[in-house]
Amino acid sequence: MSISDQMPTEVAPETPRDENAPAFQRFMESIGQFWTFGVLVALILIFGIAAPDLFSKDAWLSTSEFAVEYLILAVGQTFVIITAGIDLSDGAVLGFSGMAGALLMEHVMIGGPSGAGTVVIGIAAMLLAGTLIGVLNGVLITRIKLPPFIVTLGTLTAVGGATNLLNNGTEITTLPNFINNMGTASVLDGWLPIPVLIALAVAVVFGLILARTRFGLRTYSIGSNDAGARRAGIRVDRHLIMVYAISGFLAGLAGLMVTANFQSASPIAGANDELYAIASVVIGGASIFGGRGTIFGTVIGTAILSVLTTGLVLTNVAPFWQQVAIGVVVVAAVAIDRVRTRAGTD
Amino acid sequence: MREEVPAPAGSGVQTVPFVEVRRLTKRYGSVLALRGADLELHRGEVVGLVGDNGAGKSTLVNILSGGIQPTSGSVLVDGTEVTLRTPVDARRAGIETVYQDLSLAPDLSIWANMFLGREAVVKGPLGRIGWLDRKAMMERSATSLEETNIRIASVLSRTGRLSGGQRQAVAVGRAVSWGSRVLLLDEPTAALGVEQQQRVGELIKRVAANGIAVLLISHNLPQVYEICDRVVVLFHGETVANLRTSEIDIDDIVGWITGSALAARRLHEGQA
């Protein structure tokens, strides 16, 4: 007996659209996930009209410089949030990594204070310190089965203290020339600072990993259905440790960028950065419940926060209002996304 | 004290069963969840596994799907004893499980769910990093769902957007597409409406007609009676009956589930 003779089992058409849904809701569904891009364009236009300086080289450089730190952290945070986790420690790890690397470069001089060996060891130390703290987060979360919120809240606090212990709470300003130059060097006639180039490269590389590799797809699988992923043979614990390691590694890289940019390692570097990173990811459309999010969305989310900050400065809005505005944007973004995806969701 | 019924193969020809369970027990501390389960699954057969809550159905299915290890007894695949340590072991042995919660990732597309944990990657030097072969996965998903006569608008649809019956069909389609020979279905229609239950029932029969052995765990006795060729009843962790549905009626199954048929037989044997 051929099975195709028999009655087929219909899957789809998809849940039909609710034709009676409010016009706004239907509109939001039809523009899909690109609405945040529209918000970014709208912000640029509004602030551009209010303060034409927004299109100046100075404004672009200060906006992009601001964005570098948050974008690198937010890329790592995107992976974590897609697994339904959270990394509250990445700002603190940024500060610790920068301080640890700077301290090492101050004391270990291979080929002199600005020697290549010193620079390589310092950069390696920053990346390694970040990665190791990420691994520690991952191990505590998967092996002891503690909630990511609690684990990373703990590392946020402990690592913050450790940063101050490293150099008695003072900053380090004696850095190799290479590091200092890296923060200020640029290409394209000064329009593209090297740190911005590095941040964009990070976004492209990790965007490809998330969207085009098995590792990326499994990151979504775990966030969407952890038990299902386990039954499907995915090594969930190992994968999560790698995801937190990525977040830590990128926090270490952000530590390098910030140290180079300010030509010093400060114990308060990175403080509260995790909030901006999480905000960027969430504005970019990732679900805090896991399973959804893209690096493209995160880039847009970071750009929205950065343009908003520069725009408010240029329009002479008092700094405290900037924080209020960012808070409002985060909540509004999630609320709009909820309306957009309400129909036919789980 | 078990009813000895020779296992009727679907084709009527005696062959080595795809899966055979012999005197399986499972102990949790002082509790014996299984105290002697026997089961044979043959090609092309739909077998119902029934029993009251706590009779050991879930334990037996968990052992067969590689979720837990038995305390004693054996599982044979094609007449060879196997050890199923993980769900992956069970799958390698040709046993696919459709869990009660379906184990689908609602945020992922249908094709990504079909390949969950078994993603196809592009061959070549970069294959080691695992670049996804999305095109191949989409095409193969569409083809294999079609072969099981599951019609879908698009394998790109997000699985969370499908109805309960559609999701069930995708989960069954996924299990079948991996060339499984034994399909374990845990309460496949518990969350479904009447019409969707009907459709899933038809799908199960089609799958079996294609040469797969299906074990259906269900509380829905009318459905078990309608779909299954044979019913195995667990009572207090033990296989107490192995019945052909063509030779019994629903009340007989109820009698074995509640234990009254067992009591009656013991009484009868005592008098004989």
* pLDDT at residue number A320: 85
Cβ atoms of A37 and A268 closer than 8 Å: no
CB under 8 Å to A152, separation ≥6 — which residues?
Answer: A86, A87, A88, A89, A137
Test mutation, B68, B88, B116, chain A, max A CBs within 10 A: B116
Specify the 3-state DSSP secondary structure of B148: coil
Q: Do B107 and A223 touch (CB under 8 A)?
A: yes
**Helix residue ranges per DSSP H, A6-56:** 23-31, 35-50
Test mutation, A1, A5, A11, A288, chain B, max B CBs within 10 A: A11
CA distance B243 to chain A (A): 25
Which span out of A126-130, A318-322, B95-99 was modeled with the highest average pLDDT?
A: A126-130
Q: Which residues of A touch B (CB under 8 A)?
A: 1, 3-4, 6-15, 212-218, 220-221, 223-225, 227-234, 287, 290-292, 344-346
Instruction: Provide the whole-model pTM.
Output: 0.86
What are the beta bridge partners of residue B230?
B47, B244
**Helix residue ranges per DSSP H, A83-193:** 90-107, 116-143, 148-166, 177-184
Average pLDDT over residues B189-199: 80
Write the pLDDT tens digit of every residue in B174-192.
Answer: 888 887 889 999 988 877 7
CA distance A50 to chain B (A): 40
By the 10 Å C-beta count (0-12 exposed, 13-18 middle, 19+ buried), A331 is classed as exposed
Task: Give the pLDDT band (50/70/90) at residue B217.
Answer: very high
Q: What is the mean pLDDT of chain B?
A: 86
Cβ atoms of A75 and A203 closer than 8 Å: yes
Position A124 pLDDT exceeds 90: yes
Say what the alpha-carbon torsion angle B209, B211, B212, B215 is, to the nearest 10 degrees.
50
Q: How far apart are CA B83 and CA B97, in angstroms?
A: 16
Q: Does B121 touch chain A (CB under 8 A)?
A: yes
CA distance A179 to chain B (A): 31
Compute CA distances A302 → A276, B41, B251, whole Å: 8, 57, 66
- Phi, psi angles (nearest 5°) of residue B235: -140, 120
Tokens of A125: 């130390």
Say what the alpha-carbon torsion angle A196, A199, A201, A206 is, to the nearest 10 degrees.
-160
Cβ atoms of A87 and A152 closer than 8 Å: yes
* pLDDT at residue number B50: 93
Q: Which residue of chain B is at minimal alpha-carbon distance from A1?
A: B209
Helix (H) or strand (E) holding A66: helix A57-82
Furthest C-alpha separation in chain B = 76
Please list every residue in chain B whose beta carbon sits closer than 8 Å to the beta carbon of residue A84: none
* pLDDT at residue number B10: 44
Q: Which residue of chain A is at minimal alpha-carbon distance from B200?
A: A9
Tell which B residues from 74 to 93 touch A, by Cβ distance under 8 Å: 86-88, 91
Report the phi/psi class of residue B96: left, alpha or beta, with left for phi > 0 and alpha for psi in -120 to 50. beta
Specify the 3-state DSSP secondary structure of B191: coil
The beta-carbon neighbor of B206 closest among A6, A15, A220 is: A6
CA distance A239 to chain B (A): 12
Average pLDDT over residues A237-264: 95
**Helix residue ranges per DSSP H, chain B:** 57-64, 87-92, 110-114, 134-147, 164-177, 194-209, 221-227, 250-258, 260-271
User: If one looks up domain A51-340 in CATH, what number appears?
Assistant: 1.10.3470
> For residue A172, what is the DSSP state?
B
Compute CA distances B23 → B80, B231, B252, whole Å: 15, 18, 24
The beta-carbon neighbor of A346 closest among B151, B160, B166 is: B160
Q: Do A3 and B206 touch (CB under 8 A)?
A: yes
Q: Which residue's entry shows tokens 């990093």?
A: B129
Average pLDDT over residues A62-86: 94
What are the beta bridge partners of residue B34?
B26
Q: Does B148 touch chain A (CB under 8 A)?
A: yes
Position B156 pLDDT exceeds 60: yes
Report the phi/psi class of residue B213: left, alpha or beta, with left for phi > 0 and alpha for psi in -120 to 50. beta
Please list every residue in chain A whose beta carbon sits closer than 8 Å to the beta carbon of residue B116: 221, 228-229, 232, 234
Please list every residue in chain B whose beta carbon sits closer than 8 Å to the beta carbon of residue A220: 105, 107-108, 112
Compute CA distances A223 → A227, B114, B205, whole Å: 10, 17, 34
Helix (H) or strand (E) holding B26: strand B19-28
CB under 8 Å to B19, separation ≥6 — which residues?
Answer: B39, B40, B41, B64, B75, B76, B77, B95, B182, B213
CA distance B252 to chain A (A): 31
Position A55 pLDDT exceeds 60: yes
* pLDDT at residue number A25: 59
Domains of chain B (ranges; CATH) run 19-106+164-271 (3.40.50.300), 108-157 (no CATH)
Strands B95-98 and B182-186, by their bridges, are parallel
Q: How far apart are CA B228 and CA B231, in angstroms?
A: 7
* pLDDT at residue number B127: 58
Q: Which residue of chain B is at minimal alpha-carbon distance from A231?
A: B87
- Phi, psi angles (nearest 5°) of residue A80: -65, -45
Half-sphere exposure for A278 (CA within 13 Å, toward CB): 18
Q: Do B157 and A231 touch (CB under 8 A)?
A: no
Write the pLDDT tens digit of every residue in B23-72.
Answer: 999 999 889 999 999 999 999 999 999 998 888 898 999 999 998 999 99
* pLDDT at residue number B194: 82
More confident residue, A23 or A245: A245
Write the pLDDT tens digit of every residue in A267-295.
Answer: 999 888 999 999 999 988 888 889 999 99
Position A22 pLDDT exceeds 70: no
Task: Give the pLDDT band (50/70/90) at residue A73.
Answer: very high
* pLDDT at residue number B104: 94
Please list every residue in chain B whose beta carbon sits closer than 8 Å to the beta carbon of residue A290: 107
Percent of chain A with pLDDT over 70: 87
Q: Which residue of chain B is at minimal alpha-carbon distance from A17?
A: B161
The beta-carbon neighbor of B87 closest among A9, A220, A233 is: A233
* pLDDT at residue number B25: 93
Compute CA distances B237 → A69, A120, B60, B260, whole Å: 60, 65, 9, 16
Task: Give the pLDDT band (50/70/90) at residue A10.
Answer: low
* pLDDT at residue number B144: 85
Cβ atoms of B62 and B86 closer than 8 Å: no
Write the pLDDT tens digit of every residue in B100-129.
Answer: 889 999 999 999 999 998 888 887 666 566
Percent of chain B with pLDDT over 70: 92
Q: How far apart are CA A76 and CA A278, in angstroms?
A: 10
Specify the 3-state DSSP secondary structure of B136: helix
Cis? peptide before A13, omega within 30° of 0? yes
Strands B230-235 and B46-50, by their bridges, are parallel
Q: Does B124 touch chain A (CB under 8 A)?
A: no
* Interface predicted TM-score (ipTM) of this complex, two decimals: 0.83
Q: Does B145 touch chain A (CB under 8 A)?
A: yes
* pLDDT at residue number A251: 97
Q: Which residue's entry shows tokens 């950069």?
A: A123
Position A6 pLDDT exceeds 70: no
Position A32 pLDDT exceeds 70: no
The beta-carbon neighbor of B108 closest among A212, A214, A220 is: A220
CA distance A49 to chain B (A): 40
